[in-house]
């Protein structure tokens, strides 16, 4: 990621404003991927008209997928959050990075169910992997959260049956988990998977260590990068495609960040990207292609799409 100069695309980002523009935009796509915070809601408030827009798109037969880098939750545990904000959602429409990692392991890497996986992470990733039939070592197991005595570390040895080390945000990270992850990664062929690489994690209007910060020691020790299954990495799109069979040319990513959401759409070869101004990105950053990332479209808000219903 850098601010180095990237030439603008032949067609600069188009601002959608009229009912006609919104109708033509919607007609191009069968599937819409949505970032959540800053797109559907801001803090604890639904962004105006978003609920109507989502229902309108569903009525038109569009597929909706809500993609989030949060790995601490599973699909099922995300539903109450939507409902609290007045948004109806089906668990099958939610695609957190915990599920993305599980799908990538299952459908892209095709690691057989019943295999052992070593997890550094919380209940979201543990439950998604267990639901798919994997044997999870580590994860949110209470025994693995306790403080170890110094003399116990020497007993750590690689387990040749561990097919992947899977790393997400773990607020119970400890030295033993890092050491065990490192030793398992010494086994030839052991895959190295991350739910996402965000350095920080927002909570209660403050920042805390994110999945990328839990991952950093392991990447440093083993001298290689994990495959990240979160935005902006295209492996997340491979995972979505593996379970949902989308047509990328007729799929649009909607987000409030150029460096994660829009970059994810561009790098995944999607037919479209829509940046909205209800979150992080500012209009001047969109038109100047900040981070060298150019969205195809932008709009004031996802709620504006309701204009498409006007005659």
Catalytic residues: 35, 37
Tell me the closest approach of the beta carbon of residue 211 to a second copy, in angstroms. Answer: 11
Q: Is residue 224 part of the contact set for a second copy (CB under 8 A)?
A: no
Q: Which of residues 188-217 bind a second copy (CB under 8 A)?
A: 199-200, 203-204, 206-210, 212-214, 216-217
Tell me the closest approach of the beta carbon of residue 207 to a second copy, in angstroms. Answer: 7
Tell me the closest approach of the beta carbon of residue 190 to a second copy, in angstroms. Answer: 16
Question: What residue has token string 């992947």?
Answer: 164
DSSP 218: H
The SS3 of residue 300 is coil
Nearer to a second copy, 96 or 303 (CB): 96
Nearer to a second copy, 46 or 213 (CB): 213
63 token code pair: 């597929």
Is 256 annotated in a binding site? The answer is: yes
* 232 cis-preceded (ω within 30 degrees of 0): yes
8 Å CB contact between 215 and 197: yes
d(CA 128, CA 158): 24
Nearer to a second copy, 146 or 225 (CB): 146
E strands, 142-296, in order: 162-167, 191-194, 200-203, 206-209, 227-228, 251-255, 272-276
Nearer to a second copy, 20 or 175 (CB): 175
Q: Is residue 116 part of the contact set for a second copy (CB under 8 A)?
A: no
Listed ranges 18-26, 51-59, 85-93, 140-148: which one lies at the site for a second copy (CB under 8 A):
140-148
Is 247 annotated in a binding site? The answer is: no
Nearer to a second copy, 175 or 309 (CB): 175
Instruction: Residue 173: count other Cβ atoms within 10 Å of its Cβ.
Output: 17
Considering only 19, 77, 182, 287, the residue that binds a second copy (CB under 8 A) is: 182
Tell me the closest approach of the beta carbon of residue 18 to a second copy, in angstroms. Answer: 41
List Cα–Cα distances, 234 to 220, 245, 268, in angstroms.
Answer: 22, 15, 5
CA dihedral 293, 295, 299, 302 (to 10 degrees): -100
Q: Is residue 123 part of the contact set for a second copy (CB under 8 A)?
A: no
Q: What are phi and psi of 252, to 5 degrees?
A: -125, 135
Burial 6-32 (b: 16+ CB within 10 A, else e): eeeeeeebeebeebebbeebbeebbbb
What is the helix (H) or strand (E) element at residue 65, kind and residue range? strand 63-68
Nearer to a second copy, 108 or 179 (CB): 179
Q: Is residue 187 part of the contact set for a second copy (CB under 8 A)?
A: no
Is 35 annotated in a binding site? The answer is: yes
Q: Is residue 81 part of the contact set for a second copy (CB under 8 A)?
A: no
Tell me the closest approach of the beta carbon of residue 140 to a second copy, in angstroms. Answer: 11
Residue among 241, 299, 296 nearest 263 (CA): 296
Considering only 23, 145, 191, 290, the residue that binds a second copy (CB under 8 A) is: 145
Tell me the closest approach of the beta carbon of residue 146 to a second copy, in angstroms. Answer: 7
Residue among 245, 206, 211, 253 nearest 229 (CA): 211
Q: Is residue 246 part of the contact set for a second copy (CB under 8 A)?
A: no
Q: Which residues are annotated as a binding site?
A: 35, 37, 231, 256
Q: Which residues are annotated as a binding site for Mg(2+)?
A: 35, 37, 256
Which residues contribute to the site for a second copy (CB under 8 A)?
Answer: 145-148, 150, 153-154, 156, 170-175, 178-179, 182-183, 199-200, 203-204, 206-210, 212-214, 216-221
């Amino acid at each position: 990621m850098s601010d180095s100069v990237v030439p603008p695309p032949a067609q600069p980002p188009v601002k959608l404003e009229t009912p006609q523009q919104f109708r033509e935009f919607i007609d191009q796509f069968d599937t819409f991927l949505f970032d959540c915070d800053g797109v559907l809601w801001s803090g604890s408030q639904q962004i105006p008209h978003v609920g109507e827009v989502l229902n309108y798109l569903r009525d038109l037969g569009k597929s909706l997928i809500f993609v989030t880098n949060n790995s601490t939750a599973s699909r099922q545990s995300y539903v109450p959050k939507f409902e609290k904000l007045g948004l109806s959602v089906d668990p099958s429409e939610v695609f957190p990075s915990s599920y993305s990692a599980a799908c990538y392991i299952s459908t892209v890497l095709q690691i057989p169910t019943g295999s052992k996986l070593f997890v550094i992470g919380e209940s979201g990733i543990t439950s998604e992997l267990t639901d798919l039939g994997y044997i999870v070592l580590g994860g949110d197991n209470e025994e693995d959260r306790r403080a170890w005595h110094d003399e116990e570390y020497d007993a750590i040895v690689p387990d040749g049956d561990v097919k992947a080390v899977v790393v997400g945000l773990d607020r119970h990270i400890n030295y033993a988990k890092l050491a065990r992850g490192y030793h398992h990664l010494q086994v030839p062929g052991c895959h190295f998977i991350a739910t996402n690489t965000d350095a920080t994690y927002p909570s209660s209007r403050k920042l805390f260590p994110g999945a990328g910060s839990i991952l950093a020691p392991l990447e440093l020790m083993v001298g290689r990068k994990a495959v990240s299954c979160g935005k902006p990495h295209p492996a997340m799109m491979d995972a979505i495609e593996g379970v949902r069979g989308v047509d990328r040319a007729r799929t649009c990513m909607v987000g409030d960040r150029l460096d994660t959401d829009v970059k994810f759409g561009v790098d995944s070869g999607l037919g479209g990207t829509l940046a909205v101004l209800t979150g992080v990105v500012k209009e001047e950053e969109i038109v100047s292609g900040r981070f060298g990332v150019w969205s195809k479209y932008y709009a004031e808000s996802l709620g504006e799409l309701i204009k498409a219903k006007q005659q």
